Amino acid sequence: MEAKKEIFSGKQLRQLILPLIMEQVLGITVGLADSIMVSSAGEAAVSGVSLVDSINILLVNLFCSLSTGGAVAAAHHLGENQREKAVKTADQLLLCVTGISLAVALISIAGNRAILRAVFGSVEQDVMRNAVIYFYITAVSFPFLGIYNASSALSRAMGNSRVTMYISVLTNIVNIAGNAVFILVFHAGVYGVAISTLISRIVGAVIMYVILRDSKKPIHLSGTLRVRFSPEIVRRIMKVGIPTGMDNCIFQIGKILVQSLVAGLGTTAITANAIAGVMAGIAVIPASAIGIAMITVVGQTAGAAALDETVRYVKKLMLYAYIGMVGLNLLMIVSARCIVGLYAVTPEAADMAVRVVIFHSVCAMLLWPTGFALPNAMRAVFDANYTMIVSVVSMWVFRIGMSYLFVLYFDLGLLGVWAAMGVDWLFRSACFVRRVKSGRWLGHLGKNM
């Protein structure tokens, strides 16, 4: 029993979490660099990229969630010291993600204009034209992004987050360099942003795939990969993947519906919302990294049947998340106007963005860790159905319902949309904290050991 108490030492936790934080920073850098560089092409370009990104996130989540399911299953097998099953899980995960991401890409390419018109039909023509271009090109990258995400999730499941950080550094360099060439030199605008994104995702996918073929790693892709599914392994992956996918996709559908509400507020509001969205991504980096680490730590400790240690690690990781969130978001509040000033937008859009960023940072340091990092601890012990139900109810009742209430009836404009988000986060946090304190989240382990 004593050996189980130090499955992850303090040093090992730091080695897992710090690269994840850096990777999150680098991932946000892509969005920040894209939006700042494309802003030189005008607000219509910024708005077009922002609208499509809300759809892209929805589609990408379909296979990213499977990566989470595969990572949970693989981490449990490592905790159980069953490496052969972990390898088989890796093979099945890659097959599932590749197939689904290809299907998503084909649907997105074929239905490009129809999808955009159905969701954002009321936007200005210049915004729609840029959105169509960006959607076509980025849709081609979905299979590569799927392979990259699956491989990265497997790497983190064995506690090796450093390699994904290094690859993230490389892909960010490729992306930013591409932006500099295509946008600043050739003035390609949205074309340049999209092509740079495509190239960087291809590079990341190829390198991560090659790395995961190393048979010396505890989790790797076998040398005899066959297009044949193992029902037992796929069921285990789907046990977390499907509820997580439903959770994420319904969440993103809700955000798209809210985005369509924002689109009706005019180009200034769309632009301010796009800027605030990038800044919001930066503001949650510490807790987001902790949430990813939860999958590895909780998955392996629960797989080793060290449940007391599982609870202890969850508490420790949540403490880390709050310390990081408070520190970062206080800095964000103080420097909000300076950061927004990097964008070449109108003073009206900048002022609106600053107000939203400050409001978001206050909510984020209070509610984001319990609302979004803590649920990953539950997913890591196969309690994913509960997180899905809470997320769906909270999204439709509070995020969507109150957005329309605050905007259409109380005339709060863009800030009303973000205020509804705060109510959504409060409800989620209350439900997830109560679930963990009750101990019922650990009740699913016996059914999946």
Sequential pLDDT tens for the chain (449 residues): 344 446 777 788 888 888 888 877 776 666 566 666 777 767 777 778 777 877 777 777 777 788 888 888 888 888 888 888 888 898 889 988 888 889 989 999 999 988 888 877 767 888 888 889 999 999 999 999 999 989 999 998 888 888 988 998 898 889 888 888 888 888 888 888 889 889 999 999 999 999 998 888 888 888 665 557 788 888 888 888 888 888 877 777 787 788 778 888 888 888 889 889 888 988 999 999 999 899 989 988 888 888 888 899 999 999 999 999 999 999 999 999 998 888 878 888 899 999 999 999 999 999 999 999 999 999 999 898 999 999 989 999 999 999 999 998 998 889 999 999 999 999 999 999 999 999 899 876 655 54
Using the structure block, give the residue that is written with the tokens 């990781």.
317
CB 174 within 8 A of CB 312: no
**What Cα–Cα distance (Å) separates residue 325 from each residue in 55, 198, 221, 318?**
27, 31, 36, 10
- CB 303 within 8 Å of CB 366: no
Is-above-0.85 flag for pTM? Answer: no
H helix runs in 39-181, sequence order: 43-79, 83-110, 112-120, 125-140, 142-157, 162-179
**Token output for 324:** 């990081």
Q: What backbone phi and psi angles, to 5 degrees, belong to 216?
A: -75, -15
Tokens standing for residue 77: 């097998």
CA 54/CA 225 separation, integer angstroms: 34
Say how far apart CA 74 and CA 64 lie, in whole Å.
Answer: 15
| Helix or strand (DSSP H, E) at 302 | helix 285-303
Helix (H) / strand (E) containing 275: helix 267-283
SS3 category, 229? coil
pLDDT score of 303: 85
The residue with tokens 């490389």 is 170
CB within 8 Å of 258: residues ≥ 6 apart: 399, 400, 403, 417, 420
Supply the pLDDT for residue 2: 41
- How many whole angstroms separate alpha carbon 305 and alpha carbon 307? 6
What b/e readout covers 153-174, taking b as 16+ CB neighbours within 10 angstroms? bbbbbbbbbbbbbebbeebbeb
How far, in Å, are 168, 169, 176 from residue 25 at the CA level?
A: 10, 10, 14
Alpha carbons 275 and 285: distance in angstroms, whole number: 16
Q: Please give the helix or strand (H or E) that residue 228 lies within, else none.
A: none
Q: What is the pLDDT of residue 221?
A: 85
Element (H, E) at 111: none
Cα 397 to Cα 251, 261, 425, 426, distances in angstroms: 12, 16, 12, 13
Q: At what angle do helices 10-38 and 267-283 cross, to 10 degrees?
A: 160
The closest of 112, 135, 160 to 48, measured between CA atoms, is 135
Rounded CA-CA distance 51/331 in Å is 28
